[in-house]
């Protein structure tokens, strides 16, 4: 980690910021395809995917480079690399397509199937967040020098304050049940997985949950490395630690088999039982319908 922080991080932060500038230029005339329901890809995604894969492949020729838009690269997950770089060239593409600012360029580093470092760049906000184990958390605003991030623990959950991050699909499927079993819950949402996690790190919400099992390694590795460094609990619906080893990841899509909950310990302890009841009630209703 010392070498990544001292030798490679300046190049990584530079190329991510350059990608942000490219998004602004290319988005003036981007082309949109739909890979699946609510899953968009643009020519911007594909261009940045190639650029980032080339740059990281040049910096780390001994490592595996996995990127969202290069399906062939997913095979590298099963080939025994000590280190795997997981690249999401544009997290929250739908936000860009719809003119919102909640998208990000993300990179995460797995070492022995553990997330140890991450970079999340929000071009529309000119904010770059990065860090990892034995390193710390940092933020670059525009062209300013890096500053340490101090994670903010939110106020305790109460009848008047219980904010959580939730995706559109999860709210559509589980929202009614969640308000039944966690009556004080307050829903908030952003497009990017990484930006949702940062909302928890900065204490603007107490936790973030993702239940639909569509999220992939390139979505999670970077943000969860930051979350773990911030002291957040990263677990599944049963409270078990999130796993990044092959037995917990879909072999073809590299989607997480576990449901995902990321939050401050007090929020996990207070809300997890209600989250479990809400999800099980919905799943039970679906199975008997």
Position 288 scores a pLDDT of: 61
Q: What is the CA radius of gyration of the chain?
A: 18
Position 43 scores a pLDDT of: 81
pTM: 0.93
Position 92 scores a pLDDT of: 83
Position 42 scores a pLDDT of: 76
The pair of three-digit structure tokens given for residue 233, joined into one six-digit string: 């609990």
Give the domain 163-288 fold.
Answer: D-Maltodextrin-Binding Protein; domain 2 (3.40.190)
Give the domain 2-148 fold.
Answer: Fructose-1,6-Bisphosphatase; Chain A, domain 1 (3.30.540)
- Give me the residues of the chain with pLDDT under 50, please: none
d(CA 16, CA 139): 13
Position 36 scores a pLDDT of: 61
Give residue limits of the domains in the chain: 2-148, 163-288
């Amino acid at each position: 980690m010392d070498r990544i922080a001292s030798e490679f991080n300046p190049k990584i932060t530079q190329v991510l910021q350059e990608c942000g500038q490219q998004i602004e230029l290319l988005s003036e005339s981007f082309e949109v395809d739909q890979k699946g329901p609510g899953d968009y890809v643009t020519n911007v995604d594909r261009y940045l995917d190639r650029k980032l894969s080339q740059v990281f492949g040049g910096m780390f020729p001994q490592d595996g480079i996995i990127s969202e838009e290069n399906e062939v690269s997913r095979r590298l997950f099963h080939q025994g690399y000590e280190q795997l770089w997981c690249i999401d060239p544009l997290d929250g593409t739908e936000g860009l397509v719809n003119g919102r600012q909640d998208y990000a360029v993300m990179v995460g580093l797995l070492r022995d199937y553990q997330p140890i470092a991450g970079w999340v760049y929000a071009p529309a906000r000119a904010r770059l967040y990065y860090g990892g184990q034995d390193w710390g958390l940092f933020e670059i605003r525009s062209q300013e020098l890096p500053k340490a991030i101090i994670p903010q623990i939110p106020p305790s959950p109460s009848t008047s304050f219980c904010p959580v991050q939730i995706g559109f699909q999860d709210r559509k499927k589980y929202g009614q049940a969640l308000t039944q079993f966690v009556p004080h819950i307050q829903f908030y949402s952003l497009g990017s997985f990484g930006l949702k996690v940062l909302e928890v790190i900065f204490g603007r919400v107490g936790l973030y949950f993702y239940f639909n099992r569509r999220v992939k390694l390139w979505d999670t590795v970077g943000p969860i490395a930051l979350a773990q460094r911030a002291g957040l609990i990263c677990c599944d619906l049963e409270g078990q630690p999130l796993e990044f080893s092959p037995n917990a990841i879909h072999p073809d899509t590299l989607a997480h088999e576990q449901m995902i909950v990321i939050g401050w310990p007090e929020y996990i302890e207070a809300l997890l039982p209600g989250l479990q009841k809400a999800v099980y009630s919905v799943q039970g209703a679906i199975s008997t319908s």
